[in-house]
A and B are shown apart, each in its own frame.
Chain A
Amino acid sequence: MESAAHLKPGTQVATYCVQEKLREGGMAVLYRAAPIAGGEPGLLKVPKLEFGSHPVCYAGFEAEQMILGRVVGPHVPRLVAGGESDFGPYLVMEHIAGTSFAEYASAAPLPAADVARLGAALGSALHDLHRQDVVHHDLKPSHVILREDGQVALIDFGLAVHGHLPDLAGAESDKPLGTAAYISPEQIAGVRGDPRSDVFSLGVILYLLATGRLPFGEPTSMVGLRRRLYCDPLPPRRIIHDLPEWLQEIILHCLEVRTDTRYATAAQVAHDLTHPGQVVLTERARRAKRAGMAVAARRWLTALSAVPPARKPPTAHLALAPHVLVAIDTGCSSPRLFQALRDATMRVVGGEQQWRVSCISVLEHSLLTEQEEGAEIGRALHMLRLVELHHWAQPLGLPQEQLRFHVLEGSDVPSKLIEYARASHADHIIIGARGTSGLRRMLGSVSSRVAAEAPCSVTVVRAPHIAGMDANNFNAEIRKID
């Protein structure tokens, strides 16, 4: 009988017919195969099970089948079929058309704008995966495909872990699982299931795309692997002198050795890559050399005694780092509503450590185009709104690194807010309820549309009721304040 690793074109595997062998990896073989009954060809994957194969081969195959069966969306290949055939276990998945990140990596260094675009798409895909309770754990350029529509798909889930399912790959070996150049420090220590491990690997990919070099090389020994626990990578701006500071800030923030100082979510990385002007530059942005021997020695000692944290599902990590959008209508709100919005914001972020608050205001286009010198006035209004947002946020007393400010422009305010929330993977929107004046009744309420259509939780905030004060009529209130 033919071996599963050498199937000839025309061989029938369950209900599929092999067309050609595409790739033979260390653990499995990939074929292009079409359903016998007709239809779209897919990727047929069979694990290497012959004598001498490493048991991880099968565990990885089993893990991939299990996890692909649980995840959905454009960022993962669709699992089409799977089971047992005459040639042993097999699975069939969607063939993803697009450009492998390996091609971009071979063309590196790329311009900063391209790195940001690719990185943001990858960060979004990763966050979507993490939200489904899966950590990839083997992120590298050859496992990332840019689809023609600009979205990223991740492939090869053989080392992945699902927070609610047994960790089959992890139980198979005591050695670190991952690819040497991209593996995170905690993976080296055997910790699995932390989404920030993928954020580290994302940082390695960004570094590679931006500089054309790998930050930690490709070590082959355990000692070499562990070097990244105490030795800094060379700052990217030392290699590419005109690399923007914000990009170095983002890359080095991804590559932090300690998970609690790294970016908390891949969504935060994508958000920063999409809005580089908002990135808060720290010492990382200007770093010109690696830390010295003394620092490395101290880190080496700390790494020796580090206790691995208790395992929790990836979504439990994300829950500690919510992205909160506060929609602030600086034009038509009252001080009491402003305060109520601040109180609501503090209740949402209270206790969480790695949240991000984006303060958003929408500048309505109808206001701009009616003016003669529209563009110039638009710029001035934009700046004014930005200043007002900062002014609103100041009493919160929150750290600058965790605050972002955006003035969006458009005529349909709820759509703009919802679109922004979707693109930035917001977890919570806080928005003020507006009055019931005749105009509002006619135009409809912004908050109710946001509440109905947002991709996340929405808190609609009202100023506390005071007897005798018409809470819905801001004009009346403003007169009282004046």
Chain B
Amino acid sequence: MKIAVLADIHANLEALRACLSHAERQGAGLYAFLGDLVGYGADPVACLDLLAEYSIRSALLVRGNHDEAALGGLCEDMSFVAREAIYWTRARLSRTERDFLASLPFTTRRNDSLFVHAGADAPGSWNYITSSSQAGRSMDAARATVVFSGHVHHPSLFFAAGSGVGRFQPVPGVPIPLNGRRRWQAIVGSVGQPRDGSNAAAYALYDEQERMLTFFRVPYDHMTTARKIIAAGLPERLAARLHRGE
């Protein structure tokens, strides 16, 4: 089975659709959504409707910090724009969407893989994995061969090695064999708000049988997404950053 792993959609419908149809063309048979389905973008309801359809068709879904924030609370640990977007999102969600978000688990497993929004060492604490030592803690806690995470909007691949934890910057479109005798932490990048200097949506495809992981970048119509953000009255900075991928 080929699993398309999509993280940090952030209510960006154009990017989500572009990645889903790209993954379908690549032969994806199963979809995993690693949280932060909403927040920042102007299409939370449309995105959640689409994801609910995938959920019925046995997609794997986990919760992200923005999804949790959209359900309530003060969001004191969020930046000003993120909080603005969360307040805006809350006002748009109906009972159905709220129940859907509330039903999402922190982690989910399939075979020897673990799917989680942030570091697997404390799933509800939303630890960022930006260094080898943080990746090491996540891998140590996961009890899985491969951990798939989002949260950090930069794609990267960490692996357990003799001298600690190795780090690799994946090249889009190049399959990487993930040997089952080693432990791996994949950060798949963000569908809806890439921040690594490229404005193309990021996701990854994992071929379970071949144990091959391929990171992809998918260009999408970010101009439309940005216009919708401005039209919705969300902070303009959220629209501008989509053009530059920052």
* A contact set with B: CB distance below 8 Å: 55-56, 58-59, 62, 65-66, 69, 84, 89, 163-168, 170-174, 313
B89 to chain A, nearest CB (A): 37
**B161→A168 contact, CB < 8 A:** yes
**A166→B157 contact, CB < 8 A:** yes
Stretch of B10-18, B49-57, B174-182 contacting A (4+ beta carbons < 8 Å)? B174-182
- Nearest chain A residue, comparing its CB with the CB of B165: A171
A172 to B163 alpha-carbon distance, docked (Å): 5
**A59→B161 contact, CB < 8 A:** yes
**B168→A167 contact, CB < 8 A:** yes
A172 to B166 alpha-carbon distance, docked (Å): 8
Decide if B233 is an interface residue (CB 8 Å cutoff): no
A163 to B181 alpha-carbon distance, docked (Å): 22
> Which among B162, B168, B174, B179 is the interface contact of A172 at CB below 8 angstroms?
B162
> Which among B161, B176, B180 is the interface contact of A165 at CB below 8 angstroms?
B176
A174 to B161 alpha-carbon distance, docked (Å): 11
Question: Which residues on the B side are within 8 Å of A174 (C-beta)?
Answer: 163
Chain A to chain B contacts (Cβ below 8 Å), 24 pairs? A55-B161, A55-B162, A59-B161, A59-B162, A62-B179, A62-B182, A66-B177, A69-B177, A84-B180, A163-B171, A164-B171, A164-B174, A165-B168, A165-B176, A166-B157, A166-B159, A166-B176, A167-B166, A167-B168, A171-B166, A172-B161, A172-B162, A173-B163, A174-B163
* B contact set with A: CB distance below 8 Å: 157, 159, 161-164, 166, 168, 171, 174, 176-177, 179-182
> Which among A89, A163, A165, A173 is the interface contact of B162 at CB below 8 angstroms?
A173
**A58→B176 contact, CB < 8 A:** no
A417 to B14 alpha-carbon distance, docked (Å): 50
B117 to chain A, nearest CB (A): 24
A464 to B174 alpha-carbon distance, docked (Å): 42
Question: Which residues on the A side are within 8 Å of B182 (C-beta)?
Answer: 62
Q: Which 3 A-B pairs have the closest CB atoms?
A: A171-B166, A171-B161, A55-B162
With contacts A89-B181, A165-B176, A166-B176 taken as known, whether A56 is within 8 angstroms of B168 at the C-beta atoms is: no
With contacts A58-B181, A166-B157, A166-B168 taken as known, whether A171 is within 8 angstroms of B176 at the C-beta atoms is: no
A249 to chain B, nearest CB (A): 38
- Nearest chain A residue, comparing its CB with the CB of B157: A166
Question: Which residues on the A side are within 8 Å of B162 (C-beta)?
Answer: 55-56, 59, 171-173
A174 to B162 alpha-carbon distance, docked (Å): 9
Question: Which residues on the B side are within 8 Å of A170 (C-beta)?
Answer: 166
**B163→A171 contact, CB < 8 A:** yes
**B163→A165 contact, CB < 8 A:** no
With contacts A58-B181, A62-B179 taken as known, whether A168 is within 8 angstroms of B163 at the C-beta atoms is: no
A19 to B196 alpha-carbon distance, docked (Å): 53
Question: Which residues on the B side are within 8 Å of A171 (C-beta)?
Answer: 159, 161-164, 166
